[in-house]
Structure 1
Amino acid sequence: MRIHASTAGDTVLRTEIAFVRLSQIAPAEIAEHMSDPRVGEHMPLLTSGWDAAMATKFVAMKEACWARDGLGHWAFLANGRYVGWGGFQKEGPEWDFGLVLRPDAFGLGRRILKRAIDYAIADTRIPFVTFLLPPSRKNLGALKKLGAREIGQIEYDGATFSA
């Protein structure tokens, strides 16, 4: 899916949401998050066996995006507690947005997405944002309310996604 940055609407935040660098989160906490089978249901490319070493490698890869592109993935905190990660990653000429929340924080997705889209609107490098959505993602109402439109299906690394 693609959303044009200028179409995002307003949302009232009831929870204090903070975006911090992934490197500020303990690798064991990220590994625990990524090992939850409920997270894996929505991530067709997720591999098993996440441990602190794998999380450390993952964070290093995401930090490399910051070094290369000046933008990347954050850890999301709700009232100071780690609730997931996501952000923008340059895929060719496009900026893709990903969001991976802990199952107990799935309800915060719209608020986090809204804040990230506000960030994209303010960044002149980002004319639009793309989303690769897994087949398990059926309810697209929140994205459509932000102006997203489906542009088709693509295969990425052996898995099919809606784009």
Structure 2
Amino acid sequence: MKTEITFARLSEIEPVEIATHMSDPRVAEHMPLLTVQWDAALAANFIAKKEECWVRDGLGHWAFLSNGRYVGWGGFQKEGDEWDFGLVLKPEAFGLGIRIARQALDFAIADDRMPFVTFLLPPTRKNLGALKRHGARQVGQIEYDGTTFLKFRLETE
């Protein structure tokens, strides 16, 4: 069976499903800012904040669906003058990451608002080959909420 990847708004997903996803310790392994247990109320607040990005910037984070089933979230969030890309998948969907990222980056390439995108990854992420193969280059490190992240940039023009 062919896997169809589609993007939906986070508001179309039940908050409890996102809370369950974000409470999985395998997800938290590479998310140093994920320090609290999620519940439906926290997930609903998260969804509301991400929807505000759509209102403010005309773009934001999506829910990723595989054959209509929620497998994670991510997308683009404006940070100053830059569009940062993030991707957070359920452990059983980790193998879909490259496909989902490619589909999202194709969106960025077609969008005139994004001459480049950035990625912030914790130093614990050692497998960076796919990112580099797609042309992203490390441009330094930044500190965010007291945590160091590796910053990458991918030109989309």
Which TM-score tier does this pair reach, normalised by the shorter chain? over 0.9
| 1:75-98: CA deviation from partner (whole Å, max 9, x where unpaired) | 000111110000000000000000
Distance 1:155 1:66 in 2: 25
C-alpha RMSD of matched pairs (Å): 0.8
TM-score (norm 1): 0.90
Quote the residue 1:141 is aligned against.
129
Return the letter of the residue paired with 1:96.
D
Quote the residue 1:91 is aligned against.
79
Quote the residue 1:4 is aligned against.
none
Distance 1:130 1:68 in 2: 19
Percent of aligned pairs sharing the same letter: 75
Residue correspondences, number: 150
Quote the residue 1:44 is aligned against.
32
| 1:37-68: CA deviation from partner (whole Å, max 9, x where unpaired) | 11111101113121000000000000000000
Higher-RCO chain (CA-CA 8 Å, sequence separation at least 6): 1
How far 1:101 moved relative to its partner?
A: 0.3
TM-score (norm 2): 0.94
Query: Within the alignment, does 1:77 sit opposite 2:65 as a pair?
Result: yes
- Regions of 4+ moved over 3 Å: none
Aligned residue among 131, 135, 144 for 1:156: 144
Report the structure, 1 or 2, having the larger strand content: 2
Matches within 5 A, 1:8-157: 15-157=3-145
Unaligned regions of 5+ residues in structure 2, if any?
A: 152-157
Matches within 5 A, 1:1-12: none
Unaligned regions of 5+ residues in structure 1, if any?
A: 1-13
Q: Secondary structure at the match of 2:48?
A: helix
Distance 2:123 2:27 in 1: 14
Q: Secondary structure at the match of 1:135?
A: coil
Return the letter of the residue paired with 2:105.
I
